Amino acid sequence: MPELPEVEILRRHLQPLLAGRRVADVLVSRPRAVRPGTPEALASAMRGARFADVGRRGKFLLFALVTRGKARKVVGHLGMTGRMYLEPSDAPRAKHEAVSIALDDGHERLVFEDPRGFGRFTTDRSSVDALGPEPWDESLDAGGFAGALRGTRRAIKIVFLDQSVVAGIGNIYASEALFLAGIAPGRAANTVTANQAKRLLDAIRVVLEAAIASGSKATLDFASGSDGLFYHGSAGEGPKHDERFRVYDREGEPCPRCRSPIRRSVDGGRSSFWCAKCQA
């Protein structure tokens, strides 16, 4: 599932392609993708507007639009396997196309393709407004982060997944950051010390920055990648980013620190990968 780094990579790809472009028309093939709004409401909000910017908040894309001096935003979420890309308007429509945005004179379109159907392309901002701070926000310092963790007895991995303490971290990068910080995923958040919380916040930033840098340098084909996904970071040359994960999806493989076998456990219904010797 795409997390903050993958969405940031996509944002950087789409921003220069869309900035200044006018929306000629909107076609919604899957009405559930725009809920709680309607296809008609989305088309009314976008038709005739120009893209001013493409931003990001957590795992969400924020498409800033301007029409007759009025600004508004459309929220995009990739769900589990969604993709967004530009293609010629005469290209065959993708089997799982959810929303198509005709641009300018109609010769090109922005496509939101969503095979699993968990994504969104909507004017509703409620999910974005409920997010915690970004990992690099000045408001998220080590003291505040430690205080937020002290306020709950939930497993630290589950705290990450709900997006209220820090936005953008999902299953993959939670496992990676916890390993780097030496903290077990099932550990109660309120037992994390102030020093450990600082180490964990630093690890979160390191892991996310490395993932963004890896994907941004790769040659990515968002429209027709061979595996259907863009977020592994290598449609072209160089190793895949997933091959550089320290623990994620490496059950039974040797820990990169101590060579003990990586374990898999389940926290909140999601798989966690960790080293019982290096993480406590």
Indicate which residues carry an active-site annotation: 2-3, 59, 270
Are the CB atoms for 76 and 121 separated by under 8 Å? yes
Quote the DSSP letter at residue 261. B
Dist CA 65 CA 3 (whole Å): 24
Alpha-carbon radius of gyration of the chain: 20
SS3 string of 198-234?
HHHHHHHHHHHHHHHHHHHHCCCCCCCCCCCCCCCCC
Dist CA 36 CA 145 (whole Å): 33
**φ and ψ of 43, to 5 deg:** -60, -40
Determine what percent of the chain falls in helix, strand and coil, rounding each to the nearest 5.
30, 25, 45
Using DSSP's 3-state secondary structure scheme, residue 263 falls into: strand
